[in-house]
Amino acid sequence: MMLRIAKPKVSLRILTHPIFGAPTLTRRSYSSGVEVKQMMVREALHSALDEEMAADPRVFLMGEEVGEYQGAYKVSKGLLHKYGPDRVVDTPITEAGFTGLATGAAYYGLRPVLEFMTFNFAMQAIDHLVNSAAKTHYMSGGNISVPIVFQGPNGAALGVGAQHSQCYAPWYGSVPGLKVVAPYSCEDARGLLKAAIRDPDPVVFLENELLYGESFPVSEEVLDPSFALPIGKAKIEKEGTDVTITAFSRMVGYALKAAETLAKEDINAEIINIRSIRPLDRSSINASVRKTNRLVTVEEGFPQHGVGAEICASVVEEIFEYLDAPVERITGADVPMPYAANLERMALPQVEDIVRAAKRVCYRSIPMAAAV
C-alpha cells in the first residue's frame, strides 16, 4: 500500500472570476507595444474543462477533492458552484471504485473526466484503465466506445519520495487502445484537454505538478472555445539544423534552456515537443533527424523501456542511414526517487546533462565511452 503524504494548503495567486472562479488573463506589454496575454497552466486546464462542460452536458468531472476543495491544484476551482454536484462529483479515497464507476458511465455514452490526485494513486485502478477502458472497444467488436479522460499530475514533484515521483508515460504508452498525451505549455494544456474530452476513445492526460503555476503566452486562437490540438501530432518548439532534441512535459522547458546554452557555442538545436506519447508522431521526429542527422531524447522517467528508447529504436529502424552520430538518451536515474533534495536533483535530468549530450553527438566533447 502506498503512503499518502499530506500536502500543505497553499495560498494561490490566481486572478479569478468573482462568482465562478474562472481565470482572468493577465497582460504584459513589451517594448514593441504589442500586448501579450499570459496564462498559467492550471488556468488553461480550468478554462478548457469549463468550456467543454458548458458545451456538452454529457461531460462531468469526478475525483478526490475536485468539488468542495476545488481541486488539489485548483484546476476545478469554481466548477462545483457553476455546474452542481451531479456534474462535479467528490469521491472517497477509493481509486478502484470510482475509476470503475466512471468507465461504466462512459460505456453508456457519458463523457467522464476522471481526476487522480496523482497518477501514482492510479496504480490502485490500473485494471480499469488497461482492461476495462482500453480494451472494451476492441473486445465489443466496435460496438462500445469509451470516451473517458484520465487526468492528473505525473512524474516527479519536489520532495515527495519514491512512491509519488514516477513517470507513467511508458506504462500507458505501451497499451493498445489508450491514447496518451503530456502537455507542456498553456497551448498544449488547453488544446490537448479539449481534444481528449471530445475523443471517442480513452485518453490518459499526464500533467506535471511543477508546471501548474508556470505562465506562458497565449494567442487569441488558443483562447477560442473551438480550439483543439490533434492528438498524435508533435510541435517543433524551436527550429534548428545541428541536432534534434525530443522532450515532453516539463523536460521541454529544460530542452529549450539547453538550446540557449548550445547556441552560444554555435550549435543550433531543434527542439521537438512530443505532446502525444501514443500515438507517437514518428514522421515529424524522422523528418527532423533527416535534417539534423543527430538525435538526443530527454525524459525524466527511468531509462529502461522508456519513451526515449522507443524513439531511438524507431529512428534506427526507419532512418538509420541519416544518423551521423550515435543517438543519446537523457533520462532519470535507474533508482527509486530519493527523498533528500540533493539526491533528488541528481536523479533527475538537468539542463547541463542535455547540453553535454548534444555536444557529444556534435563531436564537440569527448564521448562518454572514451571518457570512461
* Best CA proximity match to 196, nearest among 206, 184, 211, 185: 206
Burial class (CB in 10 A: 0-12, 13-18, 19+), 143: exposed
- Kindly state the helix (H) or strand (E) to which residue 149 belongs, with its residue range: strand 149-153
Neighbours of 20 (CB within 10 A): 13
Amino acid, res. 29: S
Residue with grid cell 501548474, as numbered in its chain: 212
Integer CA distances (angstroms), 226 to 23, 56, 112, 190, in order: 18, 13, 20, 10
Whether the bond between 18 and the residue before it is cis, its omega within 30 degrees of 0, is: no
- Cβ neighbors of 129 (< 8 A, separation 6 or more) are 99, 122, 150, 172, 175, 178, 202, 204
Integer CA distances (angstroms), 201 to 88, 272, 278, in order: 21, 25, 12
Which member of 43, 51, 52, 95 is catalytic?
95
Q: What are the residues facing 203 on neighbouring strands?
A: 149, 179
DSSP state of 23: B
Which member of 164, 187, 207, 209 is catalytic?
164
* Best CA proximity match to 234, nearest among 297, 176, 171: 297
**81 counts as catalytic:** no
The whole-angstrom distance between residue 196's C-alpha and the CA centroid of its chain comes to 12
Four-residue CA torsion sign, 221, 225, 226, 232: positive
Cα gap 327→318, rounded to integer Å: 14
**352 counts as catalytic:** no
**At 322, is the secondary structure helix, strand, or coil?**
helix
Active site amino acids:
95, 164
